[in-house]
Structure 1
Amino acid sequence: MCVPTLVEAVSLLAAVVATATGVLVVRRRRTSPLALPLAVMMFGASLWATARALLHVAEGSVPATVTLHYLVFPGAAAVAGATFWYLAVLSGRRLPRRARALLLVHPALLVVALVLDPVHAWFLRVAVEGVRVEVDAGPLYWAHTAYSYALIGAGIVLALGAMVRAVPGHRRVFGVAVLAATIPTVGNVLTNVVAARTENVHLTPVFFLVSAAIWWWVERFGGHSTVVPVATRQVLEVINDAVVVLDPRGRVLDANPAATALLGAPDGSGLDVGADAPWRAYLDDDPTRRDRGTLTAATGAVLDVRVTPMTDPVGRAAGTVVVLRDVTELERLRAELVEQATRDGLTGLHNRRALAQRLSDAVDEATASGRPLSMVLLDVDHFKAVNDTHGHAVGDAVLVAVGRELAASAARGETAARLGGEEFVLLLPGVGAPEATRRADEVRARCAGLTVPTDGAPVRLTLSAGVATLAPGESADDVLRAADDAMYAAKAAGRDQVRAAEPTTT
């Protein structure tokens, strides 16, 4: 029996390392989708390397030598299929049972071919001279080799594509996997192309030692088989924000599922990519602008919009990233808060702050346009006596009743407000003094017909009102002061009446 050569000794060491790595990994098969294909890969490499290492030992026994030659190929088939399986799963593809079953077709056909090979010699051509065995490749050997190379190459392509799409922290995982899969493939190519012509030296198991050592180190210290790396596309698919990528002309290049849902048409026809796409209004002529605003999608959702232009390495426009977030509920709450901040809590009318803003805007508009602007200031007569006699609950009921009548009398574009206490205001843009006086008297008369129930006799309401119309050159404070003076004149004249402010003279 001859002493094993260095190559065969290294092959045996590779088998030991591969077996140890396979045992280490297979324990994780229930917790990681990467564990089982990697374990199959390692056990297949172990069978391949062991058969090659024992060929030298089996010299002198023809049956043992021929059997070891044949045992190499099931291991090779397992390595090829498991490598593709591993790299496909690593790339984020879930192989269903049917796909995994198809991967078994090659090993199954290979076993059948090897069993029948002593008869047909389609796989290996075995020549025996005494106790010496010479082996040459047949047509099925090259078919098996080509298929194995194609399968491993396809897996490497998948892994490299996923590496480009992966988040930076996970790219090295793909790099290690591709390196470990490439090394034994390179060894096999060298064996078939170069080394097979020189003393029948087979280098693939030697390269397996490097590959198995990488996988053992990874599994011992890196734990790559515990999790499938995260791709950037996966991140985009799970976030709730809509992300739309546009080319320099504004056409959609890509959109994540959230974008399809948010920007789709109400009939479910999907993302609108036409020239009137809702985000286009936010893409102005300045390509360096980062804008933010809101728009309303076809679905009715209110979307917060952020627009970020992209440039290539030399500064040319490369497109635009539009990020949209559904803020419909937030906008509803914001509008509700704004409404609450501008409304009187008791009567529901606009409060003093809202009146001040609306009065200022109305004065500016009237000054610019020349249209009239009138104000009616109303005060509940003897309100303090109502509170003192019947209590604040009845007083509040009086104020609510007056506020209801005032709100009913305000037309579109007009403002009914509670100025404070028992004072109310009706702001009438576009209304002159005579019409404003008539409107004020209508409100007074309607309120005079109201009664508020109490524990005793019901309370009847009366109002005193002052009307003022904006004169040229006057301010908001001037018209409010004039209406207030007119209201006090109505009270001095006996209450329950309307007085118009005296026109200012220039």
Structure 2
Amino acid sequence: MTAPPAGRGGGRCLRQWRADGRARRSEEPRTGTQHWVLVFSCAALVAAGAAVLGWQRRDRTPAATSLAALMAGVAAWSAADAVFFSPVSAAVRLVCAPALYAASGLVVIAAFALARTVADPSWRLSRRAALLLAVEPALLIVAFAVPATRDLVLPGAHLDGPASDLRIAVGPLLTARTAGAHVLVAVAHTQLLRRWSGAAGVFRRQIGVLPATGALSTVGDVVAVLAIHNGSGVEITPLFTLVSGVVDSWALFRLGLLRLVPVAREQVVDTVPDGVLVVDPGGVLIDVNPAAVRMLQRLRPEVRGELVGRLLADVAGPRAVAALAATAGHGGHQVAEVRPGLWLDVRSSAVSDPRGRPLGRIPVVRDVSEQQERQAAVERLNEQLAEQVEVIERLRAELAEEAVRDPLTGLHNRRHLDRALAADLVRRPRAGELAVLVVDVDHVTTVNDRFGHAAGDRVLTAVAAVLDAAVREGDTAARLGGEEFVLVLPGAGRQQALERAERVRREIAAARHRLGGEDHAVTVSVGVAVCPSEAAGAAALLEAADRAL
């Protein structure tokens, strides 16, 4: 092959070929950068929308704020890249570069906070920690802004050329910043993976989303670094981060990710007001929550030092251990007084391994001293109330009895006599005959005139005592008024009634009464009437007995 002849024509052809080649090469990169501008612009819009959605839902889940900050950083990062690769002036690129570093710093901080929040829902990024994390992006921006240190960030960067000539190289400060960002995120994701390994069910599926999307962002970062070293000049890390953020947003807003957040065992056990103890089969205390520590200190103030690793009997005392042991015979529940005035409600559950071998017991202890004291007070009040009710009932019965008793003689009065006689007459057809005796004390007026009314009252009381002693069960002895008395004898016929009347008459006549310094005897007259032979009704029966008198 020979070289073409040298001449103007040949030279023109060569120059034309070179010009055409340069034109084609300049046109192709220009078209490629325009594509990247479009991609980054769309990414910025999508990320901004996701950030707005996350911010609007920040009250629903503790991770929504971190996710909103992450997507806001991706939006700013993508927007800065879109402007950086646009046909703009060097001054605009000088402004976009610090904004790009600030946005990427926000992405790192937000990714760290998001992972930490999911790993520990109670964790919050403090203001001091946020300021410390912001120091590194701020220093990187200052280093880029100062011409003397700009090459430490982007070595050999010429921002005043066309977008097709832009080439991005990584300086030592940017390399150190990237490594630090990876370490920071790796620490958070390590805790996240630990939480994922110990979670179960829906929580395990929820937490597993973030390590997966974090791995995707890491892959994107590695691809971007390799592309930069190959001279492509385009950093595609925000695009991978955008995809990760969109997946996180989808999981958050559509799948309910983080709507149900698991609570750590320490947050549950350490904050419950009940004392929780873990005891191994040998009776050694292997775990205890703060509430149980306070309770054990109340139980035995003399016990000092670390409680875990000591025998429960030494820490709690024999009475408390006996109460814990008694739960086995009471369905796992027992309320016992372990110290004077200190009552504990103990619930104990056995713990076994998957093979059924005992690992120990978990007693849950609650101080119920106040409840027991209130219950004892209520029981005392109930006892006092029962006693008062008993007294009231006794007084009521006494009042009711006094209402139907004659105050002088103690026998029943006319009111009770009427009710008792009416009831006996109702029962009379089943009991047989019924006899009524009307007893009249002779010459009571003479006794009153000679010895006074007090002496007459003593005579009436003595006669009433004889009549009261003469009645059987079911009989009724009553005072009609004055010196007249009545005996109601259910089931007694005429002969029995006459015999009873004669006995009463003799006993009264045989008695002696001290009147005026001398002994005197009194006599009575007795009238007998029998139902149904002589009368049927109560009034008629009393009238018949009075006539017989």
TM-score normalised by the chain length of structure 2: 0.53
Q: Which residue of 1 aligns with 2:387?
A: 346
CA distance in 2, matches of 1:289, 1:343: 32
Code of the aligned partner of 1:311? S
Asked if 1:78 is matched to 2:106, the reply is: yes
Q: Which amino acid aligns with 2:109?
A: G
Aligned equivalent of 2:266 = 233
More divergent stretch after superposition (106-115 vs 159-168): 159-168
Deviation at 1:213, TM superposition (A): 1.6
The answer to whether 1:205 aligns with 2:238 is yes
Residue aligning to 2:178? 145
Correspondence for 2:43:
14
* Conserved? CA contact 1:117–1:123, under 8 Å: no
Is residue 140–residue 153 contact of structure 2 (8 Å, CA) maintained in 1? Answer: no
2:347 partner SS: strand
- Work out the CA distance in 1 between the residues paired with 2:227 and 2:168: 16
CA–CA separation in structure 2 for the residues paired with 1:37 and 1:386: 83
* Cα distance in 1, alignment partners of residues 398 and 166 from structure 2: 125
Map of 1:46-445 to 2, 5 A cutoff? 46-58=75-87, 68=96, 71-90=99-118, 91=120, 92-116=122-146, 119-128=149-158, 131=162, 132-163=165-196, 169-192=202-225, 196-197=229-230, 199-200=232-233, 202-221=235-254, 230-265=263-298, 267=301, 272-273=307-308, 274-275=310-311, 276=313, 277-278=315-316, 280-281=321-322, 291-296=332-337, 301-332=342-373, 345-346=386-387, 388-389=401-402
How far apart, in 2, do the equivalents of 1:163 and 1:270 lie?
35
> What stretches of structure 2 of length at least 5 have no aligned partner?
1-29, 406-549
Paired residues of 1:302 and 1:328 also in contact (CA < 8 A): yes
Change (3 A) 1:94 1:175: same
1:26 aligns with 2:67: no
Contact preservation (8 Å) 1:41, 1:83: yes
Partner of 2:66: 37
**SS in structure 1 opposite 2:152?**
coil
In structure 2, how many angstroms separate the alpha carbons of the residues matched to 1:34 and 1:73?
24
**In structure 2, what residue type is equivalent to 1:99?**
A
- How big is each residue's C-alpha offset from its partner over 1:78-112, in whole Å with a ceiling of 9 and x where there is no partner? 11112222333442113332222222222222221
Tell which deviates more after alignment, 83-92 or 334-343.
334-343
3-state SS of paired residue (2:190): helix
Q: Contact 1:262 / 1:297 at 8 angstroms: preserved in 2?
A: no
Taking the aligned partners of 2:324 and 2:224, their CA distance within structure 1 comes to 60
- Offset of 1:200 from its aligned partner? 4.5
Distance change >3 Å, CA 254–CA 347, structure 1 → 2: same
Whole-angstrom CA distance in 2 between matches of 1:79 and 1:38? 9
The amino acid that maps onto 1:40 is A
The alpha carbon displacement at 1:64 in A equals 5.5
Greater relative CO, 1 or 2 (CA 8 Å, sep 6+): 1
Distance 1:341 1:176 in 2: 62
Q: Which has the larger radius of gyration?
A: 2
Aligned AA (1:19): A
Distance across 1 between alignment mates of 2:227 and 2:351: 50
The offset of 1:337, in angstroms, is 6.8
Indicate how the Cα distance of structure 1 residues 336 and 204 shifts in structure 2: closer, same or farther if over 3 A, else same.
same
RMSD, aligned α-carbons? 4.5
Q: Higher mean Cα deviation, 138-147 or 334-343?
A: 334-343
Cα deviation for residue 144 of structure 1 reads: 0.6
Give the Cα–Cα distance (whole angstroms) in 2 for the partners of residues 281 and 194 of structure 1: 72
User: Contact 1:14–1:208 at 8 Å: present in 2 too?
Assistant: no
1:315 to 1:110, Cα distance in 2 relative to 1, 3 A = farther
Identify which range, 328-337 or 152-161, moves more after superposition.
328-337
Rounded to whole Å, the distance in 1 between the matches of 2:172 and 2:124 is: 34
Deviation at 1:22, TM superposition (A): 1.1
Do 2:228 and 2:234's aligned partners in 1 also have CA atoms closer than 8 Å? yes
* Residue type at the aligned position of 1:78: L
TM superposition shift of 1:145: 0.9
1:2 and 2:31 equivalent? Answer: yes
Q: What is the CA-CA distance between 1:148 and the residue it aligns to?
A: 0.8
Amino acid at match of 2:115: L
Three-state SS of the structure 2 residue aligned to 1:125 is coil
The Cα shift of 1:149 comes to 1.1
Q: 1:115 to 1:280 in 2, by over 3 A?
A: farther
CA 1:66/1:302 → structure 2, altered by over 3 Å: closer, same or farther? same
Q: Secondary structure at the match of 1:322?
A: strand
- Check whether the contact 1:14–1:212 (CA below 8 A) recurs between aligned residues: no
Q: Give the conservation status (yes or no) of the 8 Å contact 2:281–2:361.
A: yes
